Structure 1
Amino acid sequence: MKKVTFVTIIVVSLLGIFFGYHKFIKHIPQDGEHTKFSRADNILDSRYLEVLVVGGDAITKKLIANCYNTTLLNGETNENRDSAPQKLVDQLNTDEITAQFGAFSSFINGPRVWCLDWTEVQVGKVRDFNGLKAKWVAALELDNPNKFSKSKPPYQVSSIERKTSFGINKGTDVFLLEDPRGTVWLMKSYSLKLDPTMSRDKLPALMASLNLPDGWSYRIVTLKKDIVLKPLSGVAQIIADDKDNVYDRTGIGYSNYNL
């Protein structure tokens, strides 16, 4: 039997530390290091998709998800209103994306359709995901590398640090939820995941079919003036309904007027 030396023990220990480090620490690119504010106009009813790539330190639970958005890319025009063509979406592979970035995991959010007329966000590096281009728009803090693999239950509030402005123009129909406390939530995008044929014309029927919790209600109104959604604290609050549509909180500190 071979004698185990002190040097062998040190080497094995160092190898264990090395491989352990790479198992629990994932350094994803700092694609939001150099950003500039960019405004996207005339995006109402346009189709988009987001790719989220998760890295960071799983031991300390300081995890970050880089969020990349396709809006205005991939040949989108005012005519086709599509920055996430299905032929490119079909080529996305989360295992390949995770390996490409050396990440813990990656997730696809969408395709979705904007209910906003314009956005003004901080934009970073543009990445290519097997032919689908998407630009960095946010870094989300997480406590679990698989957070996006299991959807949060509908109608539960999430908080996201965000220095952005979203706007909807006067005369546009908006789709609202009101919770038992009187907080009004405005739909900013609807999902094509459950129904790829979903459209603005179908949204009234969709709202009527929601499985709303006790004390919640919905309504559809036509804006009498422009509304701007901007969290003054730098932290936005969002919810999703049971059809995967996403809403932003409105009211004092979240929008320029109450709905």
Structure 2
Amino acid sequence: MPDDVYGKRYGEVLLVRSTPSGPEATVYNTFPLNDCPAELWRALDPQAIAVEHGADAVLLNGPRYWLMSSIAKRGRETLERMSFGGIEMLRQATVRLASMNPAPYRPNRVDRKAVFTFDAGRQVYELVDPDGRRWVMQTWSQTVDPSLTAADLPHLGARLSLPAGWTYRARTPAEPLVVDTADEDAFVTQDDLANSYSLSTGG
């Protein structure tokens, strides 16, 4: 795994199935096998993938770009490998979705067994919810706005339809910010541009 994953491009295929406890998605990710080749990615057919794999639905999540500096993942050597439309991917996580059509600003539980580290001195982007909890942006997305760039992120709050009591901010931590969900589920939400955020308990 590269030491610095910041800015690396990837894409995900989520195979969604109904379970007694609600919809659950198995997440396959192109990283670090490839950078989600644009031509192959555009050609993916969610309905065909769902039929092929016996899923109730398929969500295409990407292209996306990492914002953390490093990812440590337990059990990486045993990850299942799968090909979708010629794009090689690794099974990276299981997500318990809030609904079959996840809405912005609603948390989902993710079993990913990973530690994300955001280096000190590198700007991070956060949502702060009405309870004062901080959600740090882990990836930014071109799913909704293909023209979005990293340069847009510091002032993105002006473009978001934030719920009452939510705020968006950019800051530069003086110490590394660590999101450790190696031994517990992560809580992840998205904004209305499909950028993803992890609940943060770090500094």
| TM-score band w.r.t. shorter chain | 0.7 to 0.9
The residue matched to 1:230 in structure 2 has which SS? strand
TM-score normalised by structure 1 residue count: 0.70
**2-structure distance, mates of 1:207, 1:192:** 16
- Tell whether the 8 Å contact from 2:13 to 2:60 is kept in structure 1 after alignment: yes
Aligned to 1:69: 29
Could you say if the C-alpha distance between residues 106 and 211 of structure 1 is closer, same or farther in structure 2, counting changes exceeding 3 Å? closer
Could you say if the C-alpha distance between residues 94 and 184 of structure 1 is closer, same or farther in structure 2, counting changes exceeding 3 Å? same
Unaligned runs of 5+ in 2: none
- Partner of residue 58 from structure 2, selected from 101, 106, 122: 106
Larger relative strand fraction: 2
- Partner of residue 200 from structure 1, selected from 120, 144, 150: 150
Alignment of 1:24-63 (within 5 A): 39-55=1-17, 60=20
Could you say if the C-alpha distance between residues 178 and 139 of structure 1 is closer, same or farther in structure 2, counting changes exceeding 3 Å? closer
The residue matched to 2:10 in structure 1 has which SS? strand
Q: Deviations over 1:28-87 (max 9, x none)?
A: xxxxxxxxxxx45321111111111134x75x457642210011223xxxxxxxx11211
Aligned to 1:31: none
Aligned to 1:120: 72
Could you say if the C-alpha distance between residues 242 and 93 of structure 1 is closer, same or farther in structure 2, counting changes exceeding 3 Å? same
1:192 positional shift:
0.1
1:213 positional shift:
2.1
Q: Deviations over 1:65-117 (max 9, x none)?
A: 2210011223xxxxxxxx11211101211122123223332221111111111
- Tell whether the 8 Å contact from 1:40 to 1:120 is kept in structure 2 after alignment: no
**2-structure distance, mates of 1:159, 1:63:** 11
Unaligned runs of 5+ in 1: 1-38, 75-82
Could you say if the C-alpha distance between residues 96 and 188 of structure 1 is closer, same or farther in structure 2, counting changes exceeding 3 Å? same
Could you say if the C-alpha distance between residues 41 and 207 of structure 1 is closer, same or farther in structure 2, counting changes exceeding 3 Å? farther
1:166 positional shift:
0.8
Q: Deviations over 1:124-182 (max 9, x none)?
A: 121111111110111234587xx1xx232x22222223321111111111011111211
Could you say if the C-alpha distance between residues 245 and 173 of structure 1 is closer, same or farther in structure 2, counting changes exceeding 3 Å? same
The residue matched to 1:128 in structure 2 has which SS? strand
Number of residue pairs matched?
A: 200
TM-score normalised by structure 2 residue count: 0.87
1:169 aligns with 2:119: yes
Aligned to 2:110: 160
Q: Alignment RMSD, CA only?
A: 2.2
Structure with bigger gyration radius: 1
- Partner of residue 180 from structure 1, selected from 117, 125, 130: 130
Q: Which has the higher contact order (CA 8 A, sep 6+)?
A: 2
Could you say if the C-alpha distance between residues 157 and 53 of structure 1 is closer, same or farther in structure 2, counting changes exceeding 3 Å? closer
Larger relative helix fraction: 1
Aligned to 2:171: 221
Aligned to 1:20: none
Could you say if the C-alpha distance between residues 238 and 62 of structure 1 is closer, same or farther in structure 2, counting changes exceeding 3 Å? closer
Aligned to 2:95: 140
**2-structure distance, mates of 1:95, 1:194:** 19
1:91 aligns with 2:43: yes
